Structure 1
């Protein structure tokens, strides 16, 4: 069994017909009972009873009137049997004596709790995500799962846990995806959630990480580690730039013939320039004024 539209007609037309028929049969029944009580006529009594029965039938038809709001669907069931769904907004008449269950088609969002999970490196992290979704198949949402909202919440937490265990907090390889790569991680989480929630007639529009941090017990240690990594990266860039500047200085001195340097003095100059360029404190120059007794 799958989604199908329910039989329906314009509710205003049915309402007018119901009003006219109810008045007509009601008046006929009243007239028949009056005639039967006055003359004792059996045909009049039978006609009055028939008109009363028809009036009751018309009243029962009124139980099929229903209103469908925008971005809403109604599941129509006749004594447990699925008749169909009405998702077009308006005033309609469906089969009488049916149950109608409302399913919202509006866009919803759900934010998971902060989950504590070990990432791909085994480090405990806290992670949470927000999921934006909507119902696209009212039949599956009503009958494929017990509670589609609870189903989305459970599958969202499972998908976030799986995502955290398959990626590290920080990527250690060039081109590798880490939990801090927002766009890539969001796309991967969205695709996985679409596969998980399709069974319930749910379309996941977007899923994004809203909270990501190391667990409190290792947060301080990881902060020191990140700072050390940044210091090493900065020093590496400084050394690379300093080596280039030293080479350029030596080449310019040689080309312009400013000074002739032997290997020993060349090595000394390289050492001094690297100290000046790579040092993290201001340098204090020492001026050699020669020997007092020379």
Structure 2
């Protein structure tokens, strides 16, 4: 069912008519014209029943004995058929702060993930008649979308080095995927997702410690690799400079000893203590 926009007549004239009927009711009772007074009273009540007020970013869905008539979105005071059922539907943007969910990522690791979603009703007819409770529908489908997203991507690329998209590093792309999936899931309810963002992402407590140690070990290995590469480059440069300037001539064994000493100095985590050799390399 698609939304039909309805523009009813202004309600100010009917409001004035209803007030006049009430005044006529009072006058009729004072003059003893009881039947006329009762008639005017019922007319005034019926007139008031047809008056509706539409505030900014609000709407009224109108039905007549189970038949959808239309939706009033224009702001102001209006008059509609008093027999219409008038259901209020807010058009304001709403925030959904999803709870933290424990799910498995693509690699099977348990993680905790939560999302913040900004949504609003776009089609009042679908929101009212296509689903039982559109607010609950948004909550359930949002949780399902977050779970599906978490299972589609690894947390990071520690286990899947070929992963081009991870939950931790692919923030913008991951948020875009979540927003697109939510719009697809919520379209039958006439809901539009304005923004979707991952608000919480972490390993589950039972593996958080082990994963932290693994990340630290990976960082140490990477740092050591960079240090060694830099040290080898410095040793090579030192040997080339010594040979180029003919400061000292070293045979292969002395070069090996010098390389060993330089690598110890450059790769050590602590300051080294020099050892003076009073003899020769061979004695």
Aligned to 2:11: 11
Residue 180 of structure 2 is matched in structure 1 by 191
Q: 1:264 to 1:153 in 2, by over 3 A?
A: same
Distance 1:157 1:52 in 2: 56
Q: Is residue 6–residue 70 contact of structure 2 (8 Å, CA) maintained in 1?
A: yes
Deviation, structure 1 residue 211: 1.6
Counterpart in 2 of 1:40?
Answer: none
2:273 maps to what in 1?
284
For residues 238-289 of structure 1, the C-alpha deviation after alignment (integer angstroms, 9 at most, x for no partner) is 1121122122212222222211122222222222211211122221211112
Superposition pairs of residues 67-86 of structure 1, within 5 angstroms: 67-86=53-72
Q: Which residue of the partner structure matches residue 125 of structure 2?
A: 139
Task: Find the counterpart in structure 2 of residue 246 from structure 1.
Answer: 235
Provide the rounded CA distance (Å) in 2 between the counterparts of 1:223 and 1:74. 54
Partner residue, 2:261: 272
- Correspondence for 2:52: 66
- For the residues of structure 2 that align with 1:195 and 1:33, how far apart are their CA atoms? 64
- Residue 83 of structure 1 deviates from its aligned partner by 1.0
CA RMSD of aligned residues (A): 2.6
Cα deviations by residue, 1:104-141 (Å, 9 ceiling, x for unpaired):
11111112222111111111111111111111111111
**Of 131, 134, 148, which aligns to 1:148?**
134
> Is the Cα–Cα contact under 8 Å of residues 21 and 43 in structure 2 kept in the other structure?
no
Aligned length: 278
**Higher mean C-alpha displacement, 161-170 vs 24-33:** 24-33
- The answer as to 2:148 corresponding to 1:162 is yes
Q: SS of the residue aligned with 2:116?
A: strand
CA distance in 2, matches of 1:97, 1:186: 46
Distance 1:247 1:175, change over 3 A: farther
> What TM-score do the two structures reach when normalised by structure 2?
0.88
**1:107 alignment partner in structure 2:** 93
Which residue in 1 is equivalent to 2:161?
173
Q: Residues 24-43 of structure 1: matches in 2 within 5 Å? A: none
Going from structure 1 to structure 2, the CA distance change for 1:173 and 1:114 (only over 3 Å counts) comes to same
Q: Secondary structure at the match of 1:150?
A: helix
The equivalent residue for 1:214 is 203
5+ residue gaps, structure 1: 35-47
| Cα offsets for 1:4-37 (capped at 9, x unmatched) | 1124111112212344466569979998969xxx
Task: Please give the alpha-carbon distance, in whole angstroms, between the structure 2 residues aligned to 1:112 and 1:164.
Answer: 14
Structure 2: how far apart are the matches of 1:174 and 1:97? 64
CA drift of 1:159 comes to: 0.8
Report SS of the residue matched to 1:145: coil
Q: How does 1:109-124 map to 2 (within 5 A)?
A: 109-124=95-110
> How many angstroms does 1:60 deviate by?
2.1
Residue pair 2:115, 2:200 contacting (<8 A) in 1 also? yes
SS in 2 for 1:237: helix
Q: Is the 8 A contact 2:52 2:78 kept in 1?
A: yes
Distance 1:213 1:13, change over 3 A: same
8 Å CA contact 1:6–1:94 kept in 2: the answer is no
Deviations 1:26-66 (A, max 9, x none): 979998969xxxxxxxxxxxxx87x9768745642332101
| 2:246 pairs with 1:260 | no
Greater Cα radius of gyration, structure 1 or 2: 1
**Preserved contact between residue 2 and residue 123 of structure 2 (Cα < 8 Å):** no
- Distance in 2 between residues matched to 1:28 and 1:115, nearest whole Å: 67
